[in-house]
Amino acid sequence: MPGTLLDHTTSRGDCRARVHKSVSDTGVWVSDLHDFLGTKMKILWWSLAAALILAGLVTVWLPIPTGVPLLALGMIVIVGTNRSAARMLRSRRRKTPPLNDAITWVEDRSPLRFARILKRTRPRKK
């Protein structure tokens, strides 16, 4: 069919060039979509982290122990989505052994998904 992606009336090399051009155009479109969705997801995760931290700050004074876990979840979301925050936590853990011990204690008792995020912030040996 003339005008379709694979026009049989053209030479074989021309078909490859047209298919290759179409694939590269699709790749650019997918890349733009990925950038757009990546930005939206980052906004979603940071909004979730802000909500968790605010809820933790509000409930930290209540007798029901919800404040500290909510603050910790907010911190985990931020560290899991931001490399500079992970680096900052890693350097703070290196400089403050009691903080490192506390976070290591939490790592050992956390679900696997949260523990993986926290283990990435362990101080590296120099």
**pLDDT tens digits for 45-77?**
899 999 999 999 999 888 888 998 899 899 999
| Residue 59 resides in a domain | yes
Of 99, 74, 101, which Cα lies nearest the Cα of 89?
99
| Residue 78 resides in a domain | yes
Per-residue pLDDT, 24: 47
| Residue 28 resides in a domain | no
Share of the chain above pLDDT 90, in %: 42
| Residue 7 resides in a domain | no
pLDDT over 60 (residue 29): no
User: What distance in Å separates the CA atoms of residue 99 and residue 91, rounded to the nearest whole number?
Assistant: 11
Per-residue pLDDT, 38: 73
Of 90, 84, 82, which Cα lies nearest the Cα of 120?
90
pTM for the whole thing?
Answer: 0.63
| Residue 3 resides in a domain | no
Contacts 24+ apart (CB under 8 A), 50-57: 50/74, 52/77
| Residue 29 resides in a domain | no
Q: Is 52 exposed, middle or buried (0-12, 13-18, 19+ CB in 10 A)?
A: buried
Per-residue pLDDT, 21: 44
Please give the average per-residue pLDDT across 22-50, as a whole number.
Answer: 71
pLDDT over 80 (residue 30): no
| Residue 14 resides in a domain | no
Q: Cα 48–52–71 angle (5° rounding)?
A: 135
Domain that holds residue 77: 36-119
| Residue 68 resides in a domain | yes
Give how many domains the chain has, as a whole number.
1
